[in-house]
Chain A
Amino acid sequence: MQLTRSIFGFGSDARWLMALRAPLRRVRRRSRTMSILAVIAALTIAVTLLPIAYLAVRALGSGSEGLAYALSPRTLAVVGNSIALAAAVAISAALVGVPFAWLTTRTTLPLRRFWLVAGSLPMVIPSYIGAMIFIAAFGPRGLAADLLAPLGVEKLPPIYGFVGAWLSITLFTYPFVALPVRAALLNTDPAQEEAARSLGLRRRAVFWQVTLPQLRPALAAGMLLSALYALSDFGAVALMRFDAFTRVIYTQYTSSFDRERAAVLALMLVAVTVAILALERRISRRGSGNYRAGTGCARRSAPIRLGVWAIPALLFCGLLVGVGVALPVGLLLSWLLRGAVAGAELSPVVAPTLNSLSASLLSALASALLAIPPAYLALRSRSRFRQWLGSAAYLGNALPGLVVALAFVFFASNLLPSLYQTMPILILGYCTRFLPLSIGATRSALTQINPRLEDAGRGLGLRRWQVILRITAPLARAGITSGAALVFLSAMKELPTTLLLAPTGFETLPADIWTATSEARFAQIAAPALLLVLVSALSLMVMLWQERQTADRL
């Protein structure tokens, strides 16, 4: 759950927070440690949010010209495209994710464990690699076309545009729905379903009337995540040549150097994002009852026998894993082999790999450290302002990577030219973009620590900073580390921030893949792409392992 919770940030923690804070209210004493933490948090947030504020100012400053551009039919079409893509992806991710989650938790599906792991793997394939594979497989003169040509199939349905973007993003985001829904399925009280059955309802009716309503919060959160992903995704949308916000912003930025227009579009994208977030808030607030009445440990209900339905179920899972995992990995491996046979050198990969590793590691370290003050304040401070500081850092989470990157380009090129396209600004960009991930992980680790333990430390004579160092930090270590791993994973494969902010000549894996893909030099990117997929998968494993450690200890 920590994984999903850290992705979602803090969704339903509010009740917990109130419960946790209650015992602390009694003491009212000024703590210097808290003040120092507040200052650090405030500085962090100022640094990460200033460029975005600047972007907004510039966009609004473009006045009537900007407004005319914003309301032009072409721009409105872009808005429509983006919203349609986000909605379509959210719905299809739910249609794929919910059955997948249900099959792997509640039924006698053969090899459940395997499907669960393999079916979650598409998540670690960056969208631009996934889209590239899709093009190579299903595009004109692609793998499928080659295979089908002898059978007399002359032309495949076109992959470019909405369909390609929609299918590829769905395939690589459905685990965002499947994982929280799976967790919800495991956590719901089976007694409710049994109660419905003892009242005479058949299995199917039980699912619609009892199970599904209980899944609604998890489903909404997962769909929101998929929609936000689709809205903010740059790689797949650009490669599929679909005119959604991100592609048009990038085109404006690179081709015309009309940065004012890019800023206007970016601001509109932020507005759409905020609107979707607000919508989700309203939906999830409605009927947010206590879904688990009791405290006792739930008895596992007997899995549902699939019978002959096991065959379509296996086909379904096989299709997901085949297209989402086997196809990308297989294609990349075959390219790599073909390249090796042809005598291609691996040396061009070394420099970008080291660059990507160092930039991502530094960002992961920096955000792990910077995440502690806001996360701690949000949970443990009694001051409303400091709690707000703790939550404000989440703002970056909702913003698409391209917008954050663009904001930093604007800010640095206009106000701090000496920093423009340097390593520090790249790392700052990564931190802004991914700090919410590490704050989320740190925060959920802190949430699991009973504040009474800290009170006990204080009672034994420790000062607040000693308590943080000797009690809180060791207990939260797994969460903090997994937050850092998340940041590392995300920075390694982050495309837009890298494209826009990396120093000139600083080759990175994502940028390499991007350039090679746009030029259709597929064989050259096999090694870096495989490496990125591997790094992603490893980080995910580390995270899952740490999650289990935490769960075991608490």
Chain B
Amino acid sequence: MTSSTDSSALICSALTKTFADAPVLRGVDLAVPPGAVVALLGPSGCGKTTTLRLIAGFDFPDSGDIVINGRRVAGAGVQIAAENRRVGMVFQEYALFPHRSVLDNVAFGLGGSARERRAQAAALLERIGLAGVGDRMPHGLSGGQQQRVALARALAPKPELLLLDEPFSNLDAGLRAQVRAEVRAILSHAGITSIFVTHDQEEALSFADSVAVMLEGRVAQFGTPSTIYRMPVSRDVAAFVGEANFLPGEAHGGVVHCALGELRLGAPLNGAVDVLIRPEMIDLRPQADGAAVILWREYYGYAQRVGLKLADGAALTARVSASWEGAVGEKVAVTILGTACAFPRS
């Protein structure tokens, strides 16, 4: 991602950072357009939180530049401290000040007289639907409420950029979807460029406008959720984002030969490849002389996963509709829907 433009809200270029001889960032490039909600998605240890902290100014990169709205905040001898960056942050565990009331927490970063600050904070609380809790102490709130207070506190001083570190990981699964929607609404209303870190692919794909997949200290791919999922640039990205089947094959231009026969490729390629087949691309039909045998079934209510074994012994996982009928041990015919994606075998 070297295609940085002057209009970007945030540009990171070639960021490196080493902690105790272990390189964590090996050259992170990222350009975020104004107003976008971007997910930094990656497995633990890939450097996504470190990237976030460099942007916030809690740490400084060993090399590389960070430019926020045209202002260089780190790199080339510049080290702007966190308090001078106008970058808001929502911490994983919210980090609300336990010794201050909810209202005082929200008012913390505001300027002006005490009365103005309280009035502004109260207005913010009202906007996030927490008008009644200003006088309570933070630990008396539910996780979702704390989350929103942390968000209001970070947004109060009108930062140029909002960072969220694993914002939903501390919430119960049941609450998560609801809080996610609330937070999305607040962000959209504020129209603020936001970057959030997550290791949850579903969260990244559903919540963000664009996703930056980070692997081993680099941004492996940056694109819309659908591009990331349907056209991953590497086998590693494909394997990390969503469930993936890989079959060995031989590509000849627009087609590839593999255990499932001849498939169409989205992008032409030649030579030995791994073919990516997403579980929902697989269509199954019971057939006595089918190419695959059903090994197992997992029923989820909204869909089901089916484990298959091909004649050559390769295993595949398919996702089919909840109403699909098929018994373990039965033979099925396998059809691939749409075009496949393949990666040269190393």
For the complex formed, measure the closest distance between the CB of B25 and the CB atoms of chain A, giving whole angstroms. 15
Contact of B82 among A191, A194, A289, A291 (CB under 8 A): A194
A23 CB–B CB distance under 8 Å: no
- In this complex, what residue of A is CB-closest to B139? A290
Across the interface, do B95 and A194 meet the contact criterion of CB distance under 8 Å?
A: yes
Is A296 close to B, CB under 8 A?
A: yes
Instruction: Provide the bound-state CA to CA distance between A216 and B92, in Å.
Output: 25
Shortest Cβ gap from B280 to chain A (Å): 34
Asked if residues A189 and B99 are in contact (CB atoms below 8 Å), the reply is no
User: Which of A191, A198, A291, A301 touches B83 (beta carbons < 8 Å)?
Assistant: A198
Interface residue B96 (Cβ < 8 Å from any Cβ of A): yes
Counting CB contacts under 8 A, is B98 at the interface?
yes
Q: How far is the CB of B85 from chain A (nearest CB, A)?
A: 8
Contact with B along A327-340 (1 / 0, CB 8 A): 00000000000000
What residue of chain B has the Cβ atom nearest to residue A194's Cβ? B58
Q: Which one of A198, A199, A291, A301 contacts B98 once the chains associate, using CB atoms below 8 Å?
A: A291
Among A198, A289, A293, A295, chain B packs the most CB atoms within 10 A around the CB of: A198
Interface string of A486-522 (1 = CB under 8 A from B): 0000000000000000000000000000000000000
Would A198 and B137 count as touching, CB distance under 8 A? Answer: no
Q: How many residues does chain A have at the interface if contact means C-beta atoms less than 8 Å apart?
A: 27
Closest CB of chain B to A162's CB: distance in Å? Answer: 35
Judge whether B56 and A194 touch: CB under 8 Å: yes
Binary flags per residue of B174-192, CB closer than 8 Å to A gives 1, else 0: 0000000000000000000
Contact of A214 among B81, B99, B154 (CB under 8 A): B99
Contact with B along A195-235 (1 / 0, CB 8 A): 11111111100000010011010000000000000000000
Instruction: Give B145 Cβ to nearest chain A Cβ, in Å.
Output: 13
* Min C-beta distance of A396 to chain B, whole Å: 34
CB of A157 closer than 8 Å to a CB of B: no
Q: Are A199 and B139 in contact (CB under 8 A)?
A: no
CB distance from A220 to the nearest CB of B (A): 13
Interface string of A168-210 (1 = CB under 8 A from B): 0000000000000000000001011011111111110000001
User: In chain B, what residue has the closest Cβ to A294?
Assistant: B93
Q: Does B109 contact A (CB under 8 A)?
A: yes
Please tell me which one of the listed residues B81, B94, B108, B138 contacts residue A199 in the complex, with CB atoms under 8 A apart. Answer: B108
Residue in B92, B99, B146, B154 whose CB lies within 8 Å of A198: B154
In the assembled complex, the Cα of A201 lies from the Cα of B219 at a distance in Å of 32
B95 touches A293 (CB 8 A): yes
Residue B46 interfacial (CB < 8 Å): no
Q: Are B93 and A198 in contact (CB under 8 A)?
A: no
Q: Is the CB of A198 within 8 A of B170?
A: no
Bound complex: CA of A203 vs CA of B81, how far in Å?
10
A287 contacts the other chain (Cβ, under 8 Å)? yes
Contacting pair B98 A191 (CB below 8 A): no
- Do A201 and B83 touch (CB < 8 A)? yes
Q: Is B31 an interface residue (CB 8 A)?
A: no
Interface of chain B residues 28 through 84 with chain A (CB within 8 A): 56-59, 81-84
Instruction: Assess whether B87 is in contact with A213, with CB atoms less than 8 Å apart.
Output: no
- Tell whether A191 pairs with B87 under 8 Å between CB atoms, given A200-B109, A287-B99, A294-B170: no
B56, A200: Cβ atoms under 8 Å? no
Instruction: Compute how far the CA of A52 lies from the CA of B97 in the bound complex, rounded to whole angstroms.
Output: 45
A52–B146 alpha-carbon span in the complex (Å): 51
A301 to B58, Cβ gap below 8 A? yes
1/0 per residue, CB under 8 A from A, across B112-134: the answer is 00000000000000000000000
CA distance A199 to B84 in the complex (A): 9
Candidates A195, A200, A301; contact of B91 at CB < 8 Å: A195
Report which residue of B81, B109, B138 has the largest number of chain A beta carbons within 10 angstroms of its beta carbon: B109
- Shortest beta-carbon distance from B143 to chain A in Å: 10
Residues of B within 8 A of A18 (CB): none
State whether A289 touches B99 (Cβ < 8 A). yes
Q: Does B249 contact A (CB under 8 A)?
A: no
Q: Are B96 and A293 in contact (CB under 8 A)?
A: yes
Cβ of A111 within 8 Å of any chain B Cβ, yes or no, is no
Cα distance, A210 to B88, chains bound together (Å): 17
- Residues of chain B lying within 8 A (CB to CB) of residue A289: 98-99, 137-139
Chain B's nearest CB lies how many Å from the CB of A290? 5
A27 at the interface (CB under 8 A from B): no
Interface centre among A289, A290, A295 (most CB of B within 10 A): A289
CB <8 Å contact, A302 and B58 = yes
- Taking the complex as formed, is B148 at the interface, i.e. its CB lies under 8 A from any CB of chain A? no
**Does B199 make an interface contact (CB < 8 A)?**
no
A191 touches B157 (CB 8 A): no
A202 contact set on B, CB distance < 8 A: 83
Expressed in whole angstroms, the Cα–Cα distance for A189 and B91 within the complex equals: 11
Tell me, rounded to whole Å, the shortest Cβ–Cβ distance linking B257 to chain A.
48
CB of B153 within 8 Å of the partner chain: yes
Q: A11 → chain B, closest Cβ, in Å?
A: 18
User: What chain A residues lie within 8 Å of B57 (beta carbons)?
Assistant: 197-198
Q: A194-B82, A296-B92, A302-B58 are in contact. Are A199 and B99 (CB under 8 A)?
A: no
Q: Provide the bound-state CA to CA distance between A192 and B58, in Å.
A: 12
User: Is B89 located at the chain interface by the 8 A CB criterion?
Assistant: yes
In the complex, which residues of chain A have a beta carbon less than 8 angstroms from the beta carbon of B109? Answer: 199-201
Q: Shortest Cβ distance from B229 into chain A, in angstroms? A: 29
- Is there contact, CB below 8 Å, between B89 and A196? no
Residues from chain B with Cβ under 8 Å of A194 in the complex:
56, 58, 82, 89, 91, 95
Which residues of chain B are near A197, meaning CB under 8 Å? 57-58, 81-83
CB-based contact B88/A198 at 8 Å:
yes
Chain B residues whose CB sits within 8 angstroms of the CB of A198 once the complex forms? 56-57, 82-83, 85, 87-89, 154, 159
With A289-B98, A289-B137, A290-B98 in contact, is A199–B93 under 8 Å at CB? no
Contact residues in A for B170 (Cβ distance below 8 Å):
294
| Contact yes or no, A210 B89, CB < 8 A | no
Closest Cβ of chain A to B47, distance in Å, is 13
Residues of chain B lying within 8 A (CB to CB) of residue A213: 97, 99
| Residue in chain A with minimal CB distance to B86 | A200
**Closest residue on chain A to residue B163 by CB atoms:** A198
How long is the Cα–Cα vector from A301 to B139 in the complex, in angstroms?
Answer: 24
What residues on B are CB-neighbors of A301 within 8 Å?
A: 58
Interface contact B59-A302, CB-CB below 8 Å: yes
CA separation between A202 and B83, bound complex, in Å?
6
For A302, give the chain B residue with the smallest CB separation.
Answer: B59
A347 to B334, CA, bound (A): 97
Instruction: Give the CA-CA distance A291 to B170 in the complex, in Å.
Output: 17
- A198–B146 Cα distance when bound, in Å, is 18
Within 318-377 of A, Cβ neighbours of B (below 8 Å) are at: none
With the chains together, A94 CA to B329 CA distance in Å?
75
Contact status of A293 and B98, CB under 8 A, knowing A196-B108, A198-B89: yes
* Minimum C-beta distance from B132 to chain A (A): 20
In the assembled complex, the CB of A288 is this many whole angstroms from the nearest CB of chain B, namely 9
B83 touches A200 (CB 8 A): yes
The answer on a CB contact under 8 Å between B97 and A199 is no
Contacting residues of chain A (272-321) with chain B, CB-CB under 8 angstroms = 287, 289-291, 293-296, 301-302
Given A199-B153, A202-B83, A293-B139, residue A191 in contact with residue B99 (CB < 8 A): no
Residue of B nearest to A202 (CB): B83
Contacts of B93 in A (CB 8 A): 189, 191, 293-296
Closest to B93 in A: A294
Taking a contact as CB atoms under 8 Å apart, the answer to whether A191 and B139 are in contact is no
Residues from chain B with Cβ under 8 Å of A216 in the complex: 99
27 A-B residue contacts at CB 8 Å? A189-B95, A194-B56, A194-B89, A195-B91, A195-B97, A196-B97, A197-B57, A197-B58, A197-B81, A197-B82, A198-B57, A199-B88, A199-B108, A199-B154, A199-B157, A200-B83, A200-B84, A200-B86, A213-B97, A213-B99, A214-B99, A290-B98, A293-B93, A293-B139, A296-B92, A296-B93, A301-B58
The 9 closest A-B pairs by CB, nearest first: A294-B93, A199-B109, A191-B95, A289-B98, A197-B82, A213-B99, A198-B89, A191-B91, A195-B95
Knowing that A192-B97, A293-B94 touch, tell me 10 more A-B residue pairs with CB under 8 angstroms: A194-B95, A198-B57, A198-B82, A198-B83, A198-B159, A199-B88, A201-B83, A202-B83, A291-B98, A294-B93
